Structure 1
Amino acid sequence: MIRELGVLIITKNSAETLDSCLMSIKDLTSEIVVVDSDSTDSTLEITKQYNVGILQFSTDDLGKKRAYGLKKMKSDWILMLDADEIISLTLKLELQELMKKKRLMDGYLIPYQNHFLNQKLNYGGENYEMIRLFKKDKALIRSALIHEKVKLKTRRLGKLNGKIYHYSYRNIRQIYLKFTDYARREVEKKIKKGEKSSFCKIFLYPFHMFWARFVKDKGYKDGLWRLPLDIGFAYMECLTYILLAIKNIKYKKENIKYTNKKLKRITIAFIIVTYKTKALERRRLNREINKIKNKIDRIYWVDNTKNKQGFAYGVNQGIKKGLKTGCNLFIVMNPDISLNKIDRKQLLTGGGYLDLWGGTMKQRNKAFYGGEIDPWRLSGGLIEEKPKNQYVTCGFVTGSFMVVKKEVIDKVGFFDEKYFMYYEDVDYCFRANKAGFRVGVDTKITYQHSENSRKNKLKSKWLAKSRWRFFWKYANWKQKIREMVYYLIKHFNISTWSNK
């Protein structure tokens, strides 16, 4: 049996190298998909000379671009290439033989041979392997502005001998334009992580980059002709941190503007949703909030004891009341948290960097810094690793303490009341992220969460039900089939039946 192999290529103004790339694979496969982003050169004209499927997807995110093309492909096995890459004859023959074998791994590393000014590079960080051949249903491609990577869902990883020839550094002008673009993309990544620039990073990191490539990794063995390349990498490092410094100053000005008390434009709505909450606990939290709020801020207690509605319903009631009274910042919280040692200015500081944010949650002798959503199972998990920076983006923040700007509510809307308890916060953050808002954590805001709900016998039932609702709402059909099979195996012990 010969397996179907498809080739996925992404392009943007790639006319200079695309013809050579397509020429090297034209006899290898019947399915070649090119995902283009509004090329203005002759890229599309070149593709017409070959049996190629063209898709248009306008984005600077290379990971999303790859993932989009991957979804559209019909072949079971995918070879992923850039427009400036050519497969060697050895690799071509190896791939043809591989597709005939009965048993294969789920993915394969392929070695790269990089070139500078059409000469081979053998040292200085230019020898590496990447997963470029994989089974379509066994791979994930995550969002990435540069250097998108394939991640296998299993550990079944093999290695091929044939090389991919990479012509990324073709002339001096081209590589410096490329490095300038990479620097801009790298800045966006660092901003999302909350990284800050410094004089040390601007002036010392470029020297370290050059030393690491040309000296430590023995780039000098290739010859002095490669010096412009290593200087180019140092230039990219320097430019990255200069641009990052400019961004840091810009965000700092926005932050000062946002937190300036003289403007007095920020009216906070503190929303606390309760259910059979003790009066003592209510009075304690009320005292803590009164120490934070000013005269124009509002406190809305929403008691769900009698109406028996869910947490999302209570939050929405509080938001609606806050909107009527002119509030433009909403702080959602549980009654079982403590806000000691937090002042109003500290709460507002994150608004210069984020649109929806939480803080460091201390719970049962552990600290959590927001949460991430598993891209395959769509389940939420809290982050225990402490970030290096004060402001960091994440998948979601918990509803025990969540600060939301009015702009987010205006665009995203209210919380989904179909969730009775749990995952309404994950759902809302997921929607905010998709709408382009910055969701994250201000690590200097620290609060204590007693988590009284852990004593509730129905917690596991509510959690499972809400997680399933979230999954069914956002999962694609492949994820749903996989989850249903997993559920049947787990709950009905199908493997045991098959052995009888």
Structure 2
Amino acid sequence: MRKLPLSCFIIAKNEADRIARTIRSVRSWVDEVVVVDSGSSDGTIAIARAEGARVIVQPWLGFGGQKRFAEEQCRHDWVLNLDADEVVPADLRREIITLLRSGAPANVAYGMPIHIVYPGQNKPRMWARDNWYARLYDRSVVRFRDSCVHDSVVTDGHSVGRLKAPIHHYSIRSFDHMRTKLDERMSLAAAHARPRNRSLTFARLLVEFPMNFYKYYIVRRHFTGGIMGLRYATVLSSFRVAKVYRCWMHRNPVRSVPLAIANHA
């Protein structure tokens, strides 16, 4: 297969058990795969190199900063960003190839669905409706936001095209891993949250769980995932409550936050 003039970049740390699958999903049709490692202590770097990726070690710059650094290491202006736990399935691969081989793209960025795959499963649940992000774009026009917490592409008013096929996101190794991952991310988000009225923030605690459970279980259709879908929606909603609590207790150390709020799931 003739490769596209497209760079795929991946930021990673301690992803030895997952990164090979990610690289293999793109290496046959993109011109290069760039992995920016932020200090892995497992075999991530060796595995990525063995799979044909160019690996660069860069201490952590925050989510947005790390991805902006990775953008700058790419040879091509058109880039595809993947996380180290994501896979491009065949239908999305065909869609991207068709787009980039049909002349100059009409838009400077393209988004696609990103669907969660539960632990131990090999594809998203039926009728999945999780997230949608711009991941394929011209870095000479748009870039990732330079932020410690947020890692989204800032399109600055440019129109964004839509691809139909999803990325498969193997986000969690287990539900224990999910809790650990959410604890770290919610703590970071609370630490960087803008000051808000403490009374209003406290009032949010009363509605945060049911509001988010409805969002994840019903609107995002985790009800089609059976028991795993129920567990996923419950754990994620619980940590949304924990985030609001941490914002409310912002003057106290994060370690004082009771984590038992999510352990019932």
The question of a shared fold, defined as TM-score above 0.5 by the shorter chain, is answered with yes
Q: Residues of 2 paired with 1:45 and 1:246: CA distance? A: 42
Could you give the per-residue CA deviations for residues 333-363 of structure 1, whole angstroms, max 9, x where no partner exists? xxxxxxxxxxxxxxxxxxxxxxxxxxxxxxx
- Contact 2:34–2:55, Cα closer than 8 Å, also in 1: yes
DSSP-derived class of the 2:117 partner: strand
Residues 157, 245 of structure 1: alpha-carbon distance in 2 compared, 3 angstrom cutoff? closer
- Tell me, yes or no, if structure 1 residue 164 matches structure 2 residue 198: no
Q: Residues of 2 paired with 1:166 and 1:218: CA distance? A: 16
Q: TM-score, normalised by structure 2?
A: 0.83
**Equivalent of 2:108 in 106, 112, 121:** 106
Could you give the per-residue CA deviations for residues 449-499 of structure 1, whole angstroms, max 9, x where no partner exists? xxxxxxxxxxxxxxxxxxxxxxxxxxxxxxxxxxxxxxxxxxxxxxxxxxx
Alignment partner, residue 96 of structure 2: 95
Q: CA deviation at 1:78?
A: 0.2
- Tell me, yes or no, if structure 1 residue 176 matches structure 2 residue 179: yes
The amino acid of 2:103's aligned partner reads K
Q: CA deviation at 1:210?
A: 1.6
DSSP-derived class of the 2:192 partner: helix
DSSP-derived class of the 1:54 partner: strand
The gaps in structure 2 that reach 5 residues or longer are 254-265
Q: CA deviation at 1:2?
A: 8.0
Q: Residues of 2 paired with 1:243 and 1:153: CA distance? A: 31
* RMSD over equivalenced CA pairs, Å: 2.4
- Contact 1:138–1:154, Cα closer than 8 Å, also in 2: no
Could you give the per-residue CA deviations for residues 217-239 of structure 1, whole angstroms, max 9, x where no partner exists? 54323323311111111221122
Give the count of matched residue pairs. Answer: 247
DSSP-derived class of the 1:73 partner: coil
Q: Residues of 2 paired with 1:23 and 1:112: CA distance? A: 18
- Contact 2:111–2:161, Cα closer than 8 Å, also in 1: yes
Could you give the per-residue CA deviations for residues 362-408 of structure 1, whole angstroms, max 9, x where no partner exists? xxxxxxxxxxxxxxxxxxxxxxxxxxxxxxxxxxxxxxxxxxxxxxx
- Give the number of the structure with larger relative contact order, counting CA–CA contacts within 8 Å between residues 6 or more apart: 2
Residues 93, 194 of structure 1: alpha-carbon distance in 2 compared, 3 angstrom cutoff? same
Residues 196, 143 of structure 1: alpha-carbon distance in 2 compared, 3 angstrom cutoff? farther
- Contact 1:2–1:99, Cα closer than 8 Å, also in 2: no
Q: Residues of 2 paired with 1:39 and 1:30: CA distance? A: 25
Q: TM-score, normalised by structure 1?
A: 0.46
Q: Residues of 2 paired with 1:33 and 1:11: CA distance? A: 10
Q: How does 1:166-315 map to 2 (within 5 A)?
A: 166-190=169-193, 193-195=194-196, 197=198, 198-249=201-252
Q: Residues of 2 paired with 1:17 and 1:3: CA distance? A: 24
Q: CA deviation at 1:216?
A: 4.9
Percent identity of the aligned residues?
19
Q: Residues of 2 paired with 1:97 and 1:218: CA distance? A: 30
Q: Residues of 2 paired with 1:9 and 1:59: CA distance? A: 13
